[in-house]
Structure 1
């Protein structure tokens, strides 16, 4: 499986998707003025929006989950990170690897979330380090979407 784009999803412009990546129903990925890179085994779930801005590309690492209805705009997301449902990550933000951004959180422009952090709220604040179990769950979640995508191709 190279990658999977579900029916109704829109992927336009300068978008690169690695092996195992998936974009789900009604999600929009628009690399119209800058590039978007979606890493290996990463998933963009239903109704999420991934968009760039002038001089703000999007880099999504490997094994990343972008939750339902999240907005990822002009930012960098590290490997094995989960962006919760309805969360918003704005231009120039950098989310480290092995992080969870809680559902509904607002990561403001230029914010840096360190590796291994749980952050939530509006504006998002780091509340603690992730446990080893939470980091493993991020990976399991990403791999679950790889399997769902494979089944959808059958």
Structure 2
């Protein structure tokens, strides 16, 4: 979906209709800002965002990975070095549609290192009131529990 979810929504929806039990993970918040390189002039593609929310509302086996946040910064105050203020309202929308049960965490390292340290994405999210209001259980869902449910326990744990 690097060029935006709107380019692939028909195929994704066809897969989900044909095989509703298939887990589908949309990466990088759905690449709703294009181009998704994180550099230069970019534009918000609201159509991609609307598709993401509609698919999430329709298909319970669709997940969103919260990675590559720098690829989706959309206001002039955002930067990879602690920005991301434009992302909190998007995070709130994802929570309302997907809940903490269908969101996955990712840093997009090593690419995110061009925009800050390894910890920058997490520090950005931790600065949001919406994140701080989540329970520890909801945070654990997003940070590791959902991924472990899909891919199996970390580190060979059974």
Higher relative contact order (CA 8 A, sep 6+): 2
Structure with bigger helix share is 2
Shared fold, TM over 0.5: no
TM-score w.r.t. structure 2 length? 0.27
TM-score w.r.t. structure 1 length? 0.28
Bigger CA radius of gyration: 2
